[in-house]
Amino acid sequence: MKKTTAYVNKNVLVLGLGKSGYAAAKLMHELGAFVTVNDKNNMDGQPHAEELKALGLTVVGGGHPINLLDGIDLMIKNPGIPYSNPLVKEAEARKIPIITEVEIAGELSLAPFIGITGSNGKTTTTMLIGEMMKGSAKQPIVAGNIGTALTSVVEEATADNIIVAELSSFQLLGIRTFHPHIAVVLNIFDHHLDYHGTVENYAEAKAQITANQTANDYLIYNADSERVVDFIADKTKAIKVPFSTQRIEKEGAYVRDGVIFFKDQRILACSEMGLPGAHNLQNALAAIAASASFGVPATSIAEVLKAFTGVRHRLQFVGNIQGRTVYNDSKATNILATSQALKAFPGKKIVLLAGGLDRGNSFDALVPSLKAAEIKVVFLFGETTEKLKNACEQAGIQSIHCVRNVEAAVPEAYAVSEPGDVILLSPACASWDQYKSFEVRGDIFTEEMNKFR
C-alpha cells in the first residue's frame, strides 16, 4: 500500500457498517484519521461495531443524526445508501466530499486495477478474468462488489499483483480519481432506476469507470449494446477494444463460424466452453478481450474457458444427477436474468423452479421467454406465486404447481423429471420473503438436489 499522511487527524464519517464500511473504517483509523461510523440499525452487540469501538472508533447506530456532520472533513458512504438520504444531502449542502471505498482503494493501491461493470454478468466475467489472469505475470486478487471489500485487499496488494474488481453503479458514483488500467463494460439495461432516477443517470454512473482513463489504458466494451457505445465507448480516452457476438470485430473479441477469436487469433470453439448460454458467451468474450489485452496467452485463456463451469448461484452447474442436468441460478433475482437462463438450454426440456419476493412488478415481460423455452413443468413458491402463475398461463404452460418453498419444490421436481431433462432454479425474484439471501436459497436447492445422487 502506498504511504500517505493525507488522512492524519482528519475527521472521517463512515456511513453504513457493511463489509465496505467496516473495512474502510479500519483503514482510515490505521491512517491516523478520527473515525465515526454511523448505521441506521442498532449497533449494540454487533461484532464489527464492538471491534471498532475497542479500537477507539466512535460508532453511532439507530438512525442518522445530522449533527454527526459537525466538523467532518470526509464522508465515506456505503454504495447502497442513496444520495437522497438526509445525511448525505446535508453533507452535499455543506460541501463535504462524499466518496465510496473504491476511491480510497484506487488512491492507495500499489497494484493496477481491472474494473468490471454492467447490469448483468459482472460476477461471472470478474471470476473469469481472475482465473485467466493467473496466466499473466501478475498475481490476481479478485475483490469489490463480488463480496470482498477493496479496502481490505489494498493493504497487502503489491506491484506484483493486479486487482480484478467488480464495480457496481453505486460504487462508481463515488469516485473522483479512480483509474483502472483496464475497464470492462458489459451492458446497460433498465436497472436500479429507483436509485438513479433515469437510465441516463444510471449510464452516466457506469461511465465513471472510464472517466479517468488515459490513452495508455484499455476500455473493453460491448459493441452490440447501443447504450454502451453511446454513453461510454464514444466518450473514452482509452484504447477501445470491442467484443461482439453479432459481428466480426477485428480489433477485439468475436465469433466466426462457431469459433471464438481475439483479433486474428483463434481461442477455442464455442462448443468447448464450460458455461452454457448466449449471455455467458458475451461474458467470455469480454474476459478474453481484457485478459488478452493484458498479454495473457491464448492457451491459458482457452484452458480457463473449458474448465470454468460457473460462479456459485449464477447458472451454476450443480451436476448430473441420475441423468438430470441441474443448475442453480438463485442469483437470477429479476426477469432479465431468468430470461437469459431459459435461453441457455435450446432443445432441452426444463423443469423450472421460480418465485420469491414481490416487488410490485408484473411478470408479463417474462412471458415470451417462457413461451420460447421447452418448459415441461413449473414449480412456484413465495410471494410472487400468483403473479408468476398468471405469466406461466399466458405462456401456455400446462403443468404449474404451487408449493411452499424451495425445500418442498425439489423432491417434486425430481419426481416429475426424467433423464435428459434440465432442473433449473431461476427465481426471477429476490429471496427475502423466505430466505436471508439468494446464496442461502441456492445452497438449500443444491443440498436438496444432492440428496438424489
- Detail the residues annotated as belonging to a binding site: 118-124
All three cell numbers of 140, joined, read: 490476481
* CB contact at 8 A, 267 and 257: no
Listed in order, strand segments (DSSP E) in 30-172 are: 34-38, 58-60, 74-77, 98-99, 113-117, 139-144, 161-166
Residue with cell 466480426: 248
β-strand partners of 209: none
**Beta strand ranges found along 257-395 (DSSP E):** 259-262, 265-269, 316-321, 324-328, 350-354, 375-380
Concatenate the DSSP letters of all residues of 115-148 into one string.
EEE-SS-HHHHHHHHHHHGGGSSSEEEEEETTSS
Angle between helices 298-307 and 278-293 (to 10 degrees): 150
Residue 153 CA to residue 26 CA, distance in Å, equals: 12
Bridge pairing between strands 375-380 and 350-354: parallel
Report which residue type is found at 186. L
Beta-carbon contacts of 428 under 8 Å, excluding residues fewer than 6 positions away, are 332, 333, 334, 335, 337, 338, 354, 355, 356, 363, 366, 384, 388
Residues belonging to the binding site for ATP are 118-124
H or E stretch covering 220 = strand 218-222
**CA triple 152-155-159, angle to 5 deg:** 125
Contact residues for 71 (Cβ-Cβ < 8 A; gap 6+):
11
